[in-house]
Chains A and B, each alone.
Chain A
Amino acid sequence: MREIIAAIFIIMGIIVFLLSMFGVFRFKYVLNRIHAAALGDTLGLGSIVVGLMILGTDFFAGAKLFLIILFFWLSGPIATHSIAKVEILTNKNYEERVRDK
Chain B
Amino acid sequence: MGEKKSVWEHLKAWVDGEEVILDADKYIVNRSKREKKNWRRNFSMEYIRGNVKLYRFLSIAISVLFIGIMLSVVNDLPEFGNPANPADNEVMERYLESGIEETGATNFVAGMILDYRAFDTFGEANVLFLAVMCVVLLLKKDQKNYSAKEEQENREDDFFDENEKRPILQIGGKLLAPLIILYGIYVILNGHLSPGGGFSGGTIIGAGLILYASAYGQKKMQTFFTFRTFTLICVGGLLTYCACKSYSFFTGANHVGFEIPKGIPGHILSAGFILPLNICVGLIVACTMYGFYALFTKGDI
Contact = CB atoms under 8 A, between A and B. Distances in A.
Interface stretch (B26-34, B133-141, B169-177, B278-286): B169-177
Contacts of A75: 172, 176
A47 B176 CA distance: 22
Contact of A74 (B166, B176, B214): B176
Contacts of A82: 166, 169, 214
A82 to B, nearest CB: 6
A81 interface: yes
A75 B214 CA distance: 14
B168 interface: yes
Contact of A81 (B168, B175, B214): B168
A74 B215 CA distance: 14
A4 interface: no
B160 to A, nearest CB: 9
A81 B173 CA distance: 13
A78 interface: yes
Interface string A56-87: 00000000000000010011001001100100
A80 to B, nearest CB: 10
Question: How large, as a class, is the contact surface on chain A?
Answer: under 10
Contacts of A78: 168-169, 172
Majority SS at the chain A contact face: helix
Nearest to A67: B179
A18 B172 CA distance: 28
B176 A81 contact: no
A33 B169 CA distance: 21
A78 B172 CA distance: 7
Interface in A20-56: none
Interface string B148-178: 0000000000000000001011001001100
B175 A74 contact: yes
B169 to A, nearest CB: 6
A12 to B, nearest CB: 27
Contacts of B175: 74
Interface in B191-241: 214
Nearest to B175: A74
A82 B176 CA distance: 15
Contacts of A71: 176
Interface in B103-160: none
Contacts of B172: 74-75, 78
Interface string B34-69: 000000000000000000000000000000000000
Contacts of B176: 71, 74-75
Contacts of B166: 82, 85
A82 B166 CA distance: 9
Nearest to A85: B166
A27 B168 CA distance: 27
B170 to A, nearest CB: 10
Contacts of B169: 78, 81-82
A82 B168 CA distance: 9
Contacts of B168: 78, 81
Contacts of B214: 82
Contacts of A74: 172, 175-176
A7 to B, nearest CB: 29
A74 B169 CA distance: 10
8 contacts: A71-B176, A74-B175, A75-B172, A78-B168, A81-B168, A82-B166, A82-B214, A85-B166
Given A71-B176, A78-B168, A81-B169, 12 more contacts: A74-B172, A74-B175, A74-B176, A75-B172, A75-B176, A78-B169, A78-B172, A81-B168, A82-B166, A82-B169, A82-B214, A85-B166
Q: Which 4 A-B pairs have the closest CB atoms?
A: A78-B172, A81-B168, A82-B169, A78-B168
